[in-house]
């Protein structure tokens, strides 16, 4: 059964990204610290087309996220600026390199119309200029029975939460205090959550909540 979810990494003080977040630095100053649990994992390296890496209690959590994702939605900043994130990636017009880790349709919220951009490995970036409902409708249509994942950033997560579109929240809570930055849970209408599970893993706890309707 398809649902709308997000999978975010959050600092203990509630930030998804550090301060001075921008299209050139979508995770903000110091924001990389909330993802430190993820980078060493073999399951993460694999979606980048790389070999090696660690296997630990985060592995099944991350594998499940990728396996259940039928389509992604992301904000313009998260789509990125003028180069890839990895030192040995060739320059390319987006953060994610020529073979992005999504391997699925990605709908990018933007004010600037642009042709769809198919990438290597099954990722296609489709640029949506007519709002979050339109992006959701398109993502649902392509996701089939798999999930629509609201990938970020914080403003995009907040918009979908506020509009009542999110069924499931996956929060990987990192033992980090960022001090300032982007908070996904600010200024939301009242909503009721139910804790579904908590998975303890090295340097992170993976929490899952369901929105009660």
Q: How far is the CB of 131 from a copy of itself (least distance, A)?
A: 24
To the nearest whole angstrom, how small is the minimum distance from the Cβ of residue 203 to a copy of itself? Answer: 6
Do you find a cis peptide bond into 72, omega within 30 degrees of 0?
no
Q: CA 15 to CA 158: how far, in whole Å?
A: 12
CA dist list (Å): 145 to 125, 151, 161: 20, 18, 21
> Should residue 163 be labelled a site residue for a copy of itself when binding is judged by CB under 8 A?
no
Site string for a copy of itself, 4-23 (x = CB under 8 A): --------xxx---------
CB of 69 to a copy of itself, least distance (A): 22
**Between 18 and 97, whose beta carbon lies closer to a copy of itself?**
18
Measured distance CA(195)–CA(41) in Å, rounded: 26
Binding a copy of itself by CB under 8 A: which of 145, 165, 191, 213? 191
Select the residue interacting with a copy of itself from 51, 88, 115, 194 (CB under 8 A): 194
Cα gap 193→170, rounded to integer Å? 12
Q: Which is nearer to a copy of itself, 32 or 98 (CB)?
A: 32
Going through 98-156 in order, the beta strands assigned E by DSSP cover: 105-109, 117-118, 124-128, 147-152
Neighbours of 119 (CB within 10 A): 18
Query: For a copy of itself, which residue of 119, 171, 181, 182 counts as binding (CB under 8 A)?
Result: 171
**Which of 22, 93, 129, 195 touches a copy of itself (CB under 8 A)?**
195
DSSP of 51-110: ---B-STHHHHHHHHHHHEEEEEEEHHHH-SSS-SSTTSPP-SSTT-SS-TT-SEEEEE-
Among 153, 173, 181, 182, binds a copy of itself (CB under 8 A): 173
Residues contributing to the site for a copy of itself (CB under 8 A):
12-14, 171, 173, 175-177, 179, 183, 185-188, 190-191, 193-195, 197-200, 202-205, 207, 209
């Amino acid at each position: 059964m398809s649902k709308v979810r997000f999978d975010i990494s959050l600092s203990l003080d509630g930030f998804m990204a550090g301060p001075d977040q921008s299209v050139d630095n979508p995770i903000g100053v110091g924001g990389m610290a909330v993802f430190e649990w993820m980078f060493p994992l073999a399951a993460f390296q694999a979606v980048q087309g790389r070999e090696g890496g660690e296997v630990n209690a985060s592995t099944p959590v991350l594998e499940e996220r990728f396996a259940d994702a039928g389509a992604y939605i992301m904000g313009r900043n998260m789509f990125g600026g003028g180069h890839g994130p990895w030192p040995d990636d060739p320059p390319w017009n987006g953060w994610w390199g020529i073979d992005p880790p999504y391997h699925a349709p990605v709908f990018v919220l933007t004010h600037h119309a642009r042709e769809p951009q198919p990438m290597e490995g099954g990722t296609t970036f489709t640029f949506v200029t007519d709002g979050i409902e339109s992006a959701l409708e398109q993502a649902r249509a392509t996701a089939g029975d798999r999930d629509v994942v609201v990938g970020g950033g914080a403003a995009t997560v907040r918009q979908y939460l506020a509009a009542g579109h999110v069924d499931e929240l996956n929060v990987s809570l990192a033992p980090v205090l960022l001090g300032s930055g982007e908070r996904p849970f600010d200024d939301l209408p009242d909503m009721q959550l139910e804790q579904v599970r908590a998975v303890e893993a090295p340097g992170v706890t993976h929490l899952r909540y369901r929105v009660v309707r």
